[in-house]
Each structure stands twice: as structure tokens, then as C-alpha cells.
Amino acid sequence: MNVEILSRFQFAFTVAFHYIFPPLTIGLGLLLVMMEGMWLATRNPLYHNMARFWTKMFGLIFGLGVATGIVLEFEFGTNWATYSRFVGDVFGSALAAEGIFAFFLESGFLAILLFGWDKVGPKLHFFATCMVAVGAHFSAVWIIVANSWQQTPAGSHLEIAGQPVPAGHSFELADLWQARMVIDDFWGVVFNPSSMDRLSHTLVGAWSAGAFLVVSVAAFYLLRQRHGGFAAASLKCGLALALASSLLSLVTGHGSAAGVASNQPSKLAAMEGLWQTGPQAPLHPFGWVDTTNQRTLGPKIPGGLSLLVGGRRDHPVTGLNDIAAELRPPVGATFQCFHLMVATGFGMIALSLWGSWLWWRGQLAAPQHFASRWFLRLAVPAVLLPQLANQAGWFTAELGRQPWIVWGYLRTSDGLSAVVRANQVLASLLGFGLIYLLLFALFLFLLNRKIQHGPEPLEESHELPQSWLKQGRA
Amino acid sequence: MDYNLLWFILVGVLFSGYAMLDGFDLGVGTLILGIEDDHERRLFYNAIGPVWDGNEVWLVTGGGALFAAFPAVYATVFSGFYLAFMLLLFALIFRAVAIEFRSKEPWAWWRRWWDRGFFAGSTGAAMLIGITMGNIVWGLPLDARGEFAGTFLSLLHPYALLMGVTTVALFMMHGAIYLHLKTEGALQARIRQWINPLIITFIVCYALTTLATLLYVPRMTRILREQPALFAVVVLLVLAIANLPREIHRGRDWAAFLSSCATMLLLMALFGLGMFPHMVYSMPGAAHSLTVYNAASTAKTLKIMTLIAAIGVPIVLTYTVTVYYIFRGKVTLGKDSY
């Protein structure tokens, strides 16, 4: 195997593994703010108990996020040194802001969140919880700004050996070692054409990850008739966020797709398996891309894609046939990842609408009811839906960007480290494979132990507010 | 002062912050096998419990700042040290996981294995950081494009290994002084017995490193010959080290810890002074060296980053100090402990 395949595979593997954890901490961080805020407002010990339990879960997940995140920062330099030299001037500012504004904020206040319950007053503790949540969101901001700049470069220009290159001009590979992107306008980089659409879509996806984790664990407790009041209240917190985030995903996802249509037509064509340019571009709810015969099999909604990205059925959409073969992303994989994301997204919407309807009927936390029981049974494995959607979404974004690592400027295959050999990458890849396998097994084991252990029993009164009680009995 | 020099200093400050902060928790990791009792080992873990994670962020931010301010240095060093840095990553992951997972089960074998993992990860990370520093001081073979032209095994020469051992000794000393500050009673008395031997070990290692540097890497001392006023740094360093047993003897644990931090800061200052303006010295072929000027980002980027740092760093320092203040005093075990 050659070093390019291995390096691509190692980065994809380590980033995908890492990306299990940050969305959970972003979503769970927001829920912790909600729970602790409700406790401060009502002083109901139930909310305090919830905040304590979910904080412990947060701590475990956060630890894995940090441990696997540092790898990625190293890999830019170790495996993609040419890329690092090329983008350093632009990419660097965002990375520096990420470290200073996000990571320090998160990890500094995390100490108070996890270990400060008895050391600081409730208000300061709540403030720390808010700062951890803000830090988690900030860390998403800067990394997505950097990634979006790679998708839609702006606020910068190309230089070779210090000489600006006019827009639209390329360079010879022999000159690559002295070529680099140079920043013109920091805010132009931050607000590049795709950053805000992609940021909002990623953040609501992260909220779903946290929300469905809480929903899943709470549903499990209710089905087993354990920790009733705690589970009912957690379920409602989680469900409220799940409903909001899954509906918002639809809105932000639409914005992202419209952006892709105008900025990265080859990516959109691959996402939908569209070969022929023209109006009345169809939409496939699912299907199979037949690359050899250049067609996409499966049911179609005529004009659906034109309608979605252009607002009318005769809006012309660029097809793959109008894109040079070497500039096409891997069509089949991009298509399937995109459709997996959309399908899981609609699954989340359906499930959270159903749950909300049961809530409205007063039957949510009542497994003795047939409908509620089935909802709860489906809610337990639903923790996987946002994980699938987040992974598939990122694979769509990154596969669809190929062959570019910086859109229109640098190809992924040209961004490798010149001095790193295939056997070195193979060795590190095997190492990551082994260590991450161990990590993942331990993570699931400890997560399960924490769930089985459940929240601490309430020291004080076990009473719920009247409204909770009413719904619990209904 | 130009932005290039400013960022040379700031990157140095970030890595010094990393050495001062993560240095003690890496040192605690090396010392963990020095005690047997589970309760006492838990005190060790909880002494660093609330802060190790934040300490590691200094490395992440230092790496980020290096990438941003000196992309060519970042690219050359990280790709050149490929296997060494992969091992460093494995070590750091392993110890982070050991800290997180050890306390989650009460079984003796479980905890024993995670303690060994914590020891190996911490000591390995310290050793690899030292080896990296040793190679940067010694010089790396670079080609005309500034790419590393050596191999992994060529990084393991005696000078680099000596620097690795010295770093482990330094972190152990720093960790013991930190533990002395955070513990009490019989455990503190035992740690106190470790401190003097650890100080002496560090001094021996440091003396050997200094001698080797004077003999084999004389360019590191050029600036001290040209600017004799800078010899003050050496004097301060020796005083800071000599002050350590004195403060411990007087029972002023905080002063001892600060003195140990000052030792690290001054060591980094000497390292920076010796290197400037080089960031990676090419040997052989000094003309291919990467300097703060030929390896830097544009003045515009450095200016933006200076603004970001000017806003962010005071905030970071404020809450870092606040967190250390909140968790001041002797470590005790509660229900949120590791």
C-alpha cells in the first residue's frame, strides 16, 4: 500500500473516532446548563441529581475527546506537512484562536464542573458549567471555520516564493514547496461562503448527539422501571432538545446544500448522483450509483433537486458529465453517505415528533401504555442515529471535497509529508487501531457501568413537582 | 521588537507553561510506582486530578501557535519526527486514559495495570519530549527545501538520550515538590525524603548535559559570549536550583514549587537564547536552517495572532490562576474524586 492511501486512511480513522466524542460534549454541555439552570431556578433536588449524574457522563466523554483530539493537531504536521506549509498562514490564526478561546476555557472550567461541587457556591458552579458549554461550542466554531475555508477559500490569495499569483492561475508541482496561501482579511477567512451554514448545521447535529444520549438512557431506565422520577425528567429535557435540534437540522441542512450547489457543484452532483446537467434535476430518496454506465438507479422525484437548491423545477443544476473525470469526487461513497445522513436525520425528526406527541398526551414516561412502551423501546437504540448522521455528514463533506484538500488550489494527494514513508504510517496506523480498539471497548464498558449504576439516591425528599407526578401517573 | 521575535518568545512561553504545568503531572506519573498503598496512590491522582487536563492544553496551544506562526518549522519537525511523535501521542493518550479509567473499578489488578500504564505513559512522554529538545539543540540534517533528511534511529544519539533522561529527572523533581505541596502527614514525610535525592539526580544530569553542550554544541553559548550581561540568566538558574532544598527545609512549599517553576522557565530561556534566531538548526549544511524569519507566516498573520493573544491570554491566565486557587490546599478524597 502506498503512503497516500495509508495517510488518508489514518486521518479518516482518527478523525472519525475522535468525532464520536465532541458532539456528545457539545450537546450534553447544553443540557447540563439547562438542568443546572432549572435547579437554580426551582431548587428542586431532582434537577441537582440530574446535573450530577450527567456531569459524570460528561467527564468520561470529555476525557476521551481530549485524548483523541490532540492526535489530529499532530497529524497535520506529521502526515500532511506539505499541506501544513501551504495553509499555515491562513489556517494558523483559526487554530490559535481555537486554543486560546476554546480549549483553555473548556478545560479550565471543567475542573470546577467535575470537582468543584463542594468547593464553590452554586452560582459560581453554574457559571463554570456555562463556560464549559461555551468553550465546547467555541471549539467547534474555529475548527469548522478552518475546514470551511478549505472547502470555499476566501480572504486569502496564493503566493509562490513570495510573489502573488493572480486568481485563477495554477502552479507547477515543482513549485509547490515554495507555494503558500496568504491571508488578506481575517474576517473574510472567518466568514467564508460556507462557514456559517456548515457551523450551524454541525452544532445542531451535535445537540442531537447529546439529546439522544440522554433520551436513550432515560428510556432504558423507564423500561426497566428504575429511577422513575429522574428518568422522566431527563427524558423530557433530552426530548425537548432532540425535537429542536432535529427540526433545526432540516433548516440548516437545506442552507448547507444550497451553499454546496453554488460553491461546490461537483460535490452536489456526487451527493445526488446527478450526471446530466440541466433543469428538472431529479432527487433520489435512495438509490445506487452505477459509475461505469454513468447513471443512478432508484426511485426519483422529478425536478426535486432543482426545486430544493433553486426554488423552482426548471432551475439548472450541474451534472457530473460536465465535470472533468479527474475533478470528480468518489461518487458512490459520497452519494451513500449523504443519503444515510438524510435518512437518519428524518428518523430523528420522526422519533422526536412521536415522543413530543406522547408528552403532549401525558403518556411519555408511562411504559404501561402500548404506544409509550414502543416509543421507549425505539428510543434506546436511537442514540446511534445522531452518531450515524454526524459521521455520514462529515464523510459527505470531506469525500465530496476530493480531489481537493484546499478547494481549487491544492490536491489531497499533493499535501502529503515528503519525508514520511509507507512503513512508518503503517506502523502508526496499526498502533492507533489497537489503542483505539482498547479505548472504545473500555469506553463502552465504563459507560455501561455508569448507566447500570444510575444516579445517586436523593438524600432529601423524593417528591416531584405536581406536574411531573401527574404525567408519571397518567 | 518585530513580530517574528515576539512570536518566537510567545511560542517559547507556551511551551514553558507546558513544561511548568504538565511537567509536574508527568513527574507524578513517574513517581506513582514509588508507593504501594491504593489510598496514597489515589491521593497522587487527585493531586493532579482537576488540573492535568488543562495543563495538556498548553501543549495543544503551543503546537497550534507553532503551526500558525512558523508553519515551516511545524511541518519539518512534525514530519521529521514522525515515529517519535507517534510514540509521544500513544504515551499521552495512554496516560490520559489511565487517569480516567483507573478509579472506575475497585479491583486490585485493574488499578495495578492502569498504574503501570500511567507510569509508562508519563515517563515515556517526558523522555520523548527531552529527546526532541536534544535533537533541536544538536541540529537536524535538512535538505535545500527544509525537509528532514535523517531517520528515526538517527534521532536517538547520545546527546538526545542524555537530554531525555535529564527531562525525566527534572519532571520527577518538579512532581515531587508539587506532591509535597499537596499532601500531608506520613505521606508528605515520605515524599520529603525523595526530594533531596531527586534534586541531586537532576543536578548531576543537568551538569552532564551542560558539559556536553559546551563541548559539542558550542554555538548554543555564542550569545552568552557576545552579550555577557545575559550570564545573569545562568546565575538566576543556579540560584533557583540552590533555593529548592532551602525552601523545602524551611517548610515553605509554595516557594519551593515556584522556585522549581522558575528553574524550568530559566532553562527554557537559556534554550531560546542559544537557539535564536534559528528554530531548526541544520547540521550539516547550516545554510538550510529554519529561522524565525525564513520559516514564519506573513507579518499580517502574526499581527492578527498578536491581537488574538492580547485579548485571550489575560483571560486564560485569570481563570487558570482562579482554578488553582479554588483547588488550593491539601488534597482530600471525596465522592467526585478519581
> Could you tell me the residue range of the domain that residue A247 belongs to?
3-451
Q: Are B45 and B179 in contact (CB under 8 A)?
A: no
Residue A443 lies in a domain: yes
Assigned C-alpha cell, A152? 470555499
* SS3 category, A158: strand
* SS3 category, A179: strand
Domains identified in chain B, total number = 1
Residue A462 lies in a domain: no
> Rounded distance, CA B216 to CA A359, Å?
76
- The pLDDT value recorded for residue B253 is 87
Q: Are B82 and A428 in contact (CB under 8 A)?
A: yes
Give B56→chain A minimum CA distance, Å: 9
> Rounded distance, CA A127 to CA A136, Å?
14
Q: What is the dihedral of CA A440, A445, A449, A451, to 10 degrees?
A: 50
Question: With contacts defined as CB-CB under 8 Å, which chain A residues touch B67?
Answer: 73, 76-77, 84, 88, 91-92, 95
- The pLDDT value recorded for residue B336 is 67
Residue A467 lies in a domain: no
Residue A379 lies in a domain: yes
Residue A469 lies in a domain: no
Residue ranges for chain B with pLDDT beneath 50: none
Residue B139 lies in a domain: yes
Domains identified in chain A, total number = 1
A-B C-beta contacts closer than 8 Å: 221
The per-residue DSSP string of B54-121 comes to HHHHHHHHHHHHHHHH-HHHHHHHHHHTHHHHHHHHHHHHHHHHHHHHHTT---HHHHHHHHHHHHHH
Q: What confidence tier does A459 reach under pLDDT thresholds 50, 70, 90?
A: low
Is A16 in the B-facing interface, judged by CB distances under 8 Å? no
- The pLDDT value recorded for residue A466 is 41
Residue A465 lies in a domain: no
H helices within A80-193, ranges in order? 81-97, 104-115, 122-151, 186-190
Give A443→chain B minimum CA distance, Å: 9
> Could you tell me the residue range of the domain that residue B121 belongs to?
3-326
Residue A473 lies in a domain: no
Mean pLDDT comparison of A45-59, A290-304, B164-178, highest-scoring range: B164-178
pLDDT tens for B249-277 read 888 888 999 999 999 999 999 999 998 88
From start to end of A184-309, where are the E strands?
A: 288-290, 295-297
Question: With contacts defined as CB-CB under 8 Å, which chain A residues touch B94?
Answer: 435
* More reliable by pLDDT, A23 or A62: A23
Q: What confidence tier does A473 reach under pLDDT thresholds 50, 70, 90?
A: very low
| Chain B contact probe: residue of A3, A86, A103 with most B CBs at under 10 A | A103
- The pLDDT value recorded for residue A30 is 94
Question: Average pLDDT in the A84-113 region?
Answer: 84
Residue B331 lies in a domain: no
Is A142 in the B-facing interface, judged by CB distances under 8 Å? no
Query: What was the ipTM of the complex prediction?
Result: 0.85
Residue A294 lies in a domain: yes
DSSP B288: G
User: Whole-prediction pTM value?
Assistant: 0.88
The per-residue DSSP string of A376-442 comes to HHHHTGGGHHHHHHHHHHHHHHHHTTTTEEETTTEEGGGSS-SS--HHHHHHHHHHHHHHHHHHHHH
Q: How many CB atoms lie within 10 A of CB B9?
A: 16
Length of chain A in terms of residues written: 474
Residue B335 lies in a domain: no
Decide if A92 and B53 are in contact by the 8 Å CB cutoff: no
